[in-house]
Amino acid sequence: MILTTDQLSKVYRSGEHALTVLDQVSIQVPASATAAIVGPSGSGKTTLLGLCAGLDRASSGEVVLDGQKLSTMNEDERAGLRARSVGFIFQNFQLMPTLTALENVLVPGEIQGRPCSHTIRRAEELLGRVGLDKRIHHYPSQLSGGEQQRVAIARAFIHQPKILFADEPTGNLDEEASELVENMLFELNRESGTALVLVTHDLELARKASITFHLKGGKRIDSNQAPKHRDV
């Protein structure tokens, strides 16, 4: 398993009041698998994703990511694990506006040290794979939303992560751009062998994943309890 959570909970406290946003959730994601986390707004989807990626600490329970128990690691150790093994794609793209498409893709390499010529070639190849070989020197403001998300996909794969976390990767895109981004995301996932864990409200996108985890009220529920409408 590339990712395992055991009785994972997250509680926010303010004085005597406590808000439980995630309640004893256990999941397992095999290496190279695709998994969708679905549920209504406020069900704890993004919280679960953040805990799995080590971006936040759980109130109780455990996350094992790439064989490492996150509860035993300090902030620097978790950051190092993310740099080595994890890729991210966000709903709002999170590209740096002063960098070109190529420079944005190279950011993970910059974090680990100045990228070598091999990394630059790989970045150019990835941008070509997502159909942006003619746009590599354009800035985010010169790209459409769908193009920006394709840059984000290339950036996520640049350091060949073992697992990729995607939070509503098509949430800000129209139907045509969404379909294109989805196809590219799953195609690169299959080719690279990277595990994919995505949060989505889109049932059609969730159906493309090999595993689906349904959340409701911060708890994991059985598939037969899950709603059948699009807002999942």
Say which CATH number the domain at 145 has.
3.40.50.300
> Tens digits of per-residue pLDDT, 90-127?
888 999 999 999 999 998 876 666 557 788 899 999 99
In a domain? residue 7:
no
Residues 135, 146: Cα–Cα separation, whole Å: 13
> Which 3 state secondary structure label does DSSP give 26?
strand
In a domain? residue 206:
yes
In a domain? residue 101:
yes
In a domain? residue 73:
no
φ, ψ (nearest 5 deg) of residue 194: -75, 135
In a domain? residue 17:
no
In a domain? residue 174:
yes
Q: Containing H/E element for 60? A: strand 60-65
In sequence order, which residues have a C-beta less than 8 Å from that of residue 44 and are 6 or more positions away? 10, 21, 22, 23, 25, 215, 217, 218, 219
- Our count of domains for the chain comes to 1
In a domain? residue 43:
yes
Give mean pLDDT, residues 23-44: 94
In a domain? residue 63:
no
DSSP 202: B
Q: Which residues form the domain of 112?
A: 32-55+80-212
Q: Do residues 112 and 159 make contact, with C-beta atoms less than 8 angstroms apart?
A: yes
Q: pLDDT at position 113, please?
A: 61
What pTM was computed for the model? 0.89
